[in-house]
Structure 1
Amino acid sequence: MKKRGFALFFIFSCLTFLLMACSNEGQTDEEGEPNNDPGVVQELKIANDQEPAGLDPHKTPAHSSVRIYSQIYSGLVQFDENMNIVGDLAVDWEQPDDKTYIFNLQEGVKFHNGREMTAEDVKYSFERILAEETASHIASYFANVESIEVLDDYKIQFNLKTTDATFLANLTNSSAAVVAKEAVEENGDLQQVAVGTGPFKFVEWVPDNRVVLEKNEDYYKEGLPKLDKVIYYTMKEEAARLSAIRTGEVDLTTLTAQSAALIENEQNVEIKSYQSLEYSYVGFNVNAEPLNNEKVRQALSLATNRQSIADIVWNGDAIVSGPVAPSMGDWAIDVTQHELYANDLEKAKQLLANAGYPDGFDITITTASTYADMVDTAQILQQQWAEIGVNAEIKQIEWGEYIDTWSNTSADILVGRNGSGTDPDRALNYFFHTNGSANVWGFSDSEFDSLVETGKTTIDQEERKQIYVNAQEKLLELSPNLFLVSPMKYVAVRNTVEGFTPYPHNGEYIVETSKK
C-alpha cells in the first residue's frame, strides 16, 4: 500500500509539474522578462475593429477582409518598404514592348492544399477577375488586358490593348491574388474558405469572434513567416480594444487618435503612427433628387467645414484632403485653395436657391454604426448643413448592411472612408470613371473619363501629373463625393512584439513580425 501510495503521489506530482509548465508557456519569467525559449509558440493576437465581410480577394474590397486575406494570398508583384515594385510570385519580368509583359514565376510554390502553383493558376485568376459574372471590384484595373498566354509552367505573358502606366502598380493590389481553381469550383466562391500561396494558412472563422491563421510551412521565402499563429479577434468597441491592449490580452490593435493619446505613456505599449493614404468622404447618389443637381452638391461642399471635422473627429491629427490623399505627394493638389472648400455659407445658400431649394430640403445620411469616426462625421455634417436649411437625419447601420448599401447605391448620402491607393488612377479612374469598378454613385462625365483614360496610358511622368491635376479639379467641381480629411493612423503594439512596422501602403505587414 505504501509503495502504491508513493507511486500515485509521484505520478500526481509529475502531472502537476507538467500542467504548470504548460500554463506558463509563452509567459514572462519571474522578473517580468519575456520568455525567449525557442520552443514557445509564436502567436500574435490582434484586435480588429470590424468583422470580415468575406474572404474572396476578387470580390471583397472591405478593409476588414483585406487585412486578413492579404496574409493568405500572394500576387505576382508587391511594394517593398520604399514603395518600389518588386517580385512576389514572379521572380522577375520583362517588357518586350509597351503592351507586353512577360513574368517568370517562382518554381516550387505550393498552394495551402499542397498543389504546386503554375502559370495556369495565374491565367485562371486574372480571367476570373475579368469575368463579368465574378463582378470583381478590381475588374476595371485590368480591363486593358487583351489576352493572357501561358508560355510554360513558370512563364506567363500579358498582352495589353494599349500602353498602360498603371499595370504593374495595379498588380500590387492585395485583391490581384492568385487563387486555386479547384477551391473556387468546390465552394462556388472564396468568401468562406481560403486557399492561397501566402505566408499564412486559413484555419477557421468564428463569426463575431475570431479568425485564426497558422504559419505556411511551405512558404517560398525561407525563414518566413516568423509567427506560428495569428488570431484576429473581432472587438468592435474601441473601449474593449483599449482595455485588451493595456492588459496584454492582445498584442496589437488600431486605435483612434483620442484613444492613442490615453495610452501613449503606458510602460508596455508603444504607439506607432503614420500618415495614411485614406480619406474620409461623403458619397452622393447622383441619380437621386436633389443630389442629381450639381449646384446642390456644390452647396453642400461649401457648407462643409473640413478643418472642423479634422479637429473634432480626428483630434487634429488629420489633414484636409481631396480624392488623392496628400501623402501621395506631388500627385495630390492643394485642395484648400479650391473655391468649394471655402466654407462660404452665403454662397451655399445662393446655390441652393438657384437649384430650386431656397428653403433647403430633407435628406438622410447613412453611415456605419461600428465606426465612431463615421458616426461623428455624420453628426458634424448634420449640424453644419443645418446652417443652410438642409435637415439631415442620420441612419446608422451594421457593417454587413453598410457594405451592401455601398455596393447597391441604396442610400442617397453615405459617409465612409476610401483608400487613394498607390497610383492616382485608383483614386480617380477606379472610383469615378463611368465604368470604374467602384463607381457606385452613378456618376458619369465624358470629359473626366477622357482625362483619366489618357492619364492611364501616358508614360511621361510630368505630363501624367498635369492630367491628374486637371482630373482632380474637374472632380471637385462636379462633386459626386465630398472629400473631407486624410487621418493619421495609430497602431498600439505590446513591447513583446518585434519587427512590426506599419507602412502607409501596407499597415498590416506581419510577415517579419515575431514575439519576444
Structure 2
Amino acid sequence: MFKKNQWSLFSLLIVFLFLVACSSNDTTTENEGGTTEGDESSGKQTLLVAADQDPSGMDPHTTTAHSSHRIMAKIYEGLLEFDENMQFAPLLAKEWEQVDETTYQFILREGVTFHNGREMTAEDVKYSFERILEPETGAISASYFKVVEEINVLSDYEIEFKLSQPYAPFLSYIASGANAAIIPKEAVEEHGNLDQVAVGTGPFVLKEMVPDTHVHLTKNEDYYIEGKPIVDELKYVTMVDESSRLAAIRTGEVHITTVSPDSVSLVEGNDELNVISYDGLEYFYLGFNVTNDFLKDKKVRQAISLAVDRQEIIDTIMAGEAKLSGPVPESLGDWSIDVSKLDLYQPNIDKANKLLEEASFEAGFELEMGVPSTEAELVSTAQIIEQQLGKIGINVTIVQLEWGEYIDAWNENTYDMLVGKNGSGRDPDRSLGFFFATDGSANVWGYSNKAYDELIAEGLEEVDMDKRHSIYEDAQKMIIEEAPNLFLLMPKSYIIVRENVNGYHPLPHDSEDFLELTLE
C-alpha cells in the first residue's frame, strides 16, 4: 500500500511540473501583428525592423553613420523638417520668420518635454547650437552653421539667429535631422557625450542597446503630437547577412527590411509581402586620399575615372536598377546635372594610360582600397573596380573592414582609396561644400582648391534661385573634373514590408517615418 501511494504522488508531481513548463513557455506571445514579451493581454504593438548594421555611436551632433541616424531620427528632433513635397514644415518650432537677410526668428512649441521629463525651452536651442559650433565637440554639422554670429534667447519660447552674411541654405540645414537636434545640457554634463545614452524630444525613447543583437525603443507617452506614434515599441534587430533578413521577413520574424535589387525576385509572388521601391538621396563613391604620392596628381585620379566602367557596375551589381550619379544625385531634383555625357564618365583605357604617362606613372603602382565588409554591394563594387584598374597597371589590394573600422577609416583618411555611400542631404551645399570645400566638415580626403571654395562661398550667399542653380551646376562640373571622389551610381532602394503593416510610406529623404504606422 505504501509503494502504491508513493507512485501516485510521484505521478501527480510529474503532471504538475509538465503544466508549469507549458505555462512558462507561453510568456512570449504574438499580439496585434507584433511580438511582445510578457502578458498576452497587454495588446502592445511592437514593430520589428531588420537592420543591416549596429549603430556606431548615438550622439546626434557627432555621429555620421546611417545605422545610427535611422535610430536617432526617432529619438531626436530639430526645429524644422521637410514634408513629403520637400517643403519646410514645423517640428519643435511651430513658426519661423526671416526678419531680414541675416536674421531668423523661431517660435517654439510649448509643453514639449525631453525624455528625462524636463520641458524644452529656447535655452536648450541656444545650448544645442553652441555645442555644435564648439570646436571641441567635433560636430559633423559645424560647417553648416559657421555663419551664425549670435544666438539670442528672446523668451522661453522664442529664439533668434543672427548670421554674419546672407546664407541661402540656413533653413535647409536647420531641417537637416539629428545633426541639428535639440538636446538637454544636463544629459551631456552627466555623461560627457551622448554616444551611449539618448535624451531627445522625439516619438520614441531609447530603452536598450545590445551590441550585435538589437536596439529597443519604446513609445514616448508624453509626445506632443496626440495619439502618435501608434505602435508601442520599435525594435531594430541586427541582421548583417541579407539572407538572414530575407528569411526573417518571410517567416514574420520582422515586419520591415531593406534588400538589394538581386533579392527582389526572391520574394515576388509572396502574398504576405509587399515590395516598395524608391530613389534615395545617396550615391556610391570611390574616395581618394589626395595626400597620397600617386593620387595627389589630378591626372591620376582622372585616369582612374576613365578606367572605371560605371555602367558595368550598375549592370553587374545592381541588376541594372541604378542610375549614373554625380555629387548631387538625381533624386535631389533639378539641382543635379546630367553626367552621362561628361568625358570622365566615358570608359577609355587608352586615354587613361596616356594620362598616367603624362603623370610619369606609366609603370603602374599599388594602392590599398578599404570597403565595409558588411555591405555586400560595396564589396562587389570594390572587386569590379579592382579588376578595371588592373587594366591600366594599378594593382589594388582590397581591405575589408568591419563597420566600426570603416567609420574610423573614413574619419581618419586611413587608406589610399575608400568605397562607400554618401548622402546628398537636402541642399546642394550639403553635397558639394560639406564634402569638398577646404573647411567642409566631411572633407576627409585632404582636398583643397581655392577656386572651388570661392564658388561654394558664392553659392552660400546667393538667394536668387536661378543664379544659385547656375553656381552649383558649375561646382558639380568642377568637382567631377578635379575628382577627389569618383561618383559612381545612385541606387534604387528596396524595402520589403509584411502585409499587416499599414500607414507606412517611405520618402527619399525619410524612409522610416513610423508615426502613422499600424500593425493589423
- TM bucket normalised to smaller: over 0.9
Alpha-carbon shift at residue 262 of structure 1 (Å): 1.1
CA change 1:28–1:204 in 2 (3 A) is: closer
User: Which residue of structure 2 aligns with residue 93 of structure 1?
Assistant: 96
Q: What is the 5 A alignment of 1:335-354? A: 335-354=339-358
Alpha-carbon shift at residue 12 of structure 1 (Å): 11
CA change 1:24–1:365 in 2 (3 A) is: closer
Q: For the residues of structure 2 that align with 1:148 and 1:264, how far apart are their CA atoms?
A: 53
User: Which residue of structure 2 aligns with residue 121 of structure 1?
Assistant: 124
Q: What is the 5 A alignment of 1:244-323? A: 244-323=248-327
Q: What is the 5 A alignment of 1:175-194? A: 175-194=179-198
Superposed CA offset, 1:184-219 (max 9, x none):
110010000000000000001001111000000100
Q: What is the 5 A alignment of 1:105-144? A: 105-144=108-147
**2:416 corresponds to 1:443:** no
Alpha-carbon shift at residue 25 of structure 1 (Å): 4.2
Q: For the residues of structure 2 that align with 1:451 and 1:514, how far apart are their CA atoms?
A: 47
Alpha-carbon shift at residue 383 of structure 1 (Å): 0.7
Q: What is the 5 A alignment of 1:350-389? A: 350-389=354-393
User: Which residue of structure 2 aligns with residue 230 of structure 1?
Assistant: 234
The partner residue of 2:54 within 51, 54, 78 is: 51
Q: CA RMSD in A?
A: 2.3
Alpha-carbon shift at residue 94 of structure 1 (Å): 1.2
Q: For the residues of structure 2 that align with 1:45 and 1:306, how far apart are their CA atoms?
A: 35
Query: Is the contact between residue 370 and residue 401 of structure 2 (CA under 8 Å) also seen in structure 1?
Result: yes
Q: For the residues of structure 2 that align with 1:149 and 1:205, how far apart are their CA atoms?
A: 37
Secondary structure in 2 matching 1:404: helix
CA change 1:72–1:413 in 2 (3 A) is: same
2:153 counterpart letter in structure 1: V
The partner residue of 1:104 within 103, 107, 123 is: 107
Aligned residues: 505
Alpha-carbon shift at residue 264 of structure 1 (Å): 2.2
Query: Is the contact between residue 459 and residue 471 of structure 2 (CA under 8 Å) also seen in structure 1?
Result: yes
Which stretch shows the higher mean deviation, 328-337 or 290-299? 328-337
Secondary structure in 1 matching 2:340: helix
User: Which residue of structure 1 aligns with residue 83 of structure 2?
Assistant: 80
**2:494 corresponds to 1:486:** no
Alpha-carbon shift at residue 21 of structure 1 (Å): 8.3
1:277 counterpart letter in structure 2: L
User: Which residue of structure 2 aligns with residue 4 of structure 1?
Assistant: none
Alpha-carbon shift at residue 479 of structure 1 (Å): 0.3
Query: Is the contact between residue 283 and residue 489 of structure 2 (CA under 8 Å) also seen in structure 1?
Result: yes
Superposed CA offset, 1:425-454 (max 9, x none):
100000000000000000000111111111
User: Which residue of structure 2 aligns with residue 197 of structure 1?
Assistant: 201
Q: For the residues of structure 2 that align with 1:166 and 1:300, how far apart are their CA atoms?
A: 33
User: Which residue of structure 2 aligns with residue 26 of structure 1?
Assistant: 31
Secondary structure in 1 matching 2:97: strand
CA change 1:372–1:23 in 2 (3 A) is: closer
TM-score by length of 2: 0.93
Secondary structure in 2 matching 1:231: strand
User: Which residue of structure 1 aligns with residue 175 of structure 2?
Assistant: 172
Q: For the residues of structure 2 that align with 1:287 and 1:24, how far apart are their CA atoms?
A: 57
The partner residue of 2:517 within 504, 513, 516 is: 513
CA change 1:20–1:412 in 2 (3 A) is: closer
Alpha-carbon shift at residue 329 of structure 1 (Å): 2.2
1:375 counterpart letter in structure 2: V
Q: For the residues of structure 2 that align with 1:27 and 1:112, how far apart are their CA atoms?
A: 26
Q: For the residues of structure 2 that align with 1:134 and 1:217, how far apart are their CA atoms?
A: 31
Superposed CA offset, 1:81-132 (max 9, x none):
1111111000111121011111000000000010000000000001001100
The partner residue of 1:500 within 476, 499, 504 is: 504
**2:433 corresponds to 1:417:** no
Q: For the residues of structure 2 that align with 1:224 and 1:28, how far apart are their CA atoms?
A: 18
Moved over 4 A (4+): 11-25
Q: For the residues of structure 2 that align with 1:28 and 1:121, how far apart are their CA atoms?
A: 38
User: Which residue of structure 1 aligns with residue 6 of structure 2?
Assistant: none
Q: For the residues of structure 1 that align with 2:212 and 2:23, how far apart are their CA atoms?
A: 34
The partner residue of 1:149 within 145, 149, 152 is: 152
CA change 1:328–1:42 in 2 (3 A) is: same
Secondary structure in 1 matching 2:31: coil
Q: For the residues of structure 1 that align with 2:98 and 2:151, how far apart are their CA atoms?
A: 14
The partner residue of 2:437 within 433, 441, 444 is: 433
The partner residue of 1:395 within 396, 399, 407 is: 399
User: Which residue of structure 1 aligns with residue 215 of structure 2?
Assistant: 211
Q: For the residues of structure 2 that align with 1:24 and 1:347, how far apart are their CA atoms?
A: 64
Q: For the residues of structure 1 that align with 2:436 and 2:28, how far apart are their CA atoms?
A: 55
Superposed CA offset, 1:54-104 (max 9, x none):
000001010000000110011100011111111100011112101111100
Q: For the residues of structure 1 that align with 2:303 and 2:342, how far apart are their CA atoms?
A: 14
Percent identical among aligned pairs is: 50
